[in-house]
Amino acid sequence: MKEINIGAVVLSGNQDIGRIEQVVLDCETFEASHLVVRCGGALQSQHQLMPIGWVTNSEHNRVHIEHSEEELMALPNFEVQHYVRLNQLDEEHLEHPRSKIKPADWINYLVPLVAHALGDPYDPPGVRVTEPLLSESESAIGRGLPVESSDGYKVGEVQEVLFSEPDWRLSGVVIARGFILTHPMKVAADWITSITPEKIMLNRTKAQVEEWEKQQK
């Protein structure tokens, strides 16, 4: 079993070249295809889409690859931006919902909107929309992704992702249970009904999760 800790260091040899931010999975097969790696400094960070096949070894807080930092930086960026006029944003709300606009992008929405209200000739104003580079069949798991029971209760948040070898198929997740003093609990993949950008849904009720947790102590 391979273990990927969200936030783990990515090492090329002995060089720290990034941090794991998310794991990209196929929503149907639960097979991993890529890791989202944050590289660069705090002011110039980028999120690169690294093929899962690059991983040669993984430990609790370390992921080893045999590619250089330059090769990693040359990979596609996980987040793409495109310009959408406000009338298109309304017309295509299913494809470009306002919820996808990052807080940092709202300035690009408000400035042209105010300018337009004051008689600026740019008509209509627009906004940059930031979206992940994912296909419709893929989803990304990041630290803190809520895990919900079948009866609608939040039972934890993702900390780590576990895979079988050698196919990189999801075998489970480690979730943080509790509020202030959290503790880890492993959830098997056969408990998972679906994975979306908003949450992981289980096929177990809150009571079943709590009963199973008692049995493990």
Reported as a single tens digit per residue, the pLDDT across 32-74 is 999 999 987 766 788 899 999 999 999 878 999 999 999 999 9
- Indicate if the alpha-carbon torsion angle 1, 134, 202, 175 is positive or negative: positive
CB-based burial, 61-74: b 16+ in 10 Å, e otherwise:
eebbbebeeeebee
Q: What is the pLDDT of residues 102-148, one digit of tens each?
A: 555 555 555 555 655 665 555 455 555 566 667 788 888 999 999 99
Closest of 103, 195, 99 to residue 142, by C-alpha: 195
159 vs 133, higher pLDDT: 159
Q: Where does residue 39 rank: exposed (0-12), middle (13-18), buried (19+ CB within 10 A)?
A: buried
Q: Which helix (H) or strand (E) holds 181?
A: none
φ and ψ at residue 215, rounded to 5 degrees: -65, -25
- Is the model more confident about 91 or about 215? 215
Q: Is the pLDDT of residue 99 over 70?
A: no
Q: What is the residue type of 202?
A: L
Pair 68, 98: CB distance under 8 Å: no
Domains of the chain: 2-73 (2.30.30.240), 79-132 (no CATH), 142-215 (2.30.30.240)
- Strands 126-132, 15-26: pairing is unpaired
Q: Quick one: which H or E segment has residue 92?
A: none
Report the C-alpha gap between 49 and 35 in whole angstroms. 6
Residue 150 three-state SS? coil
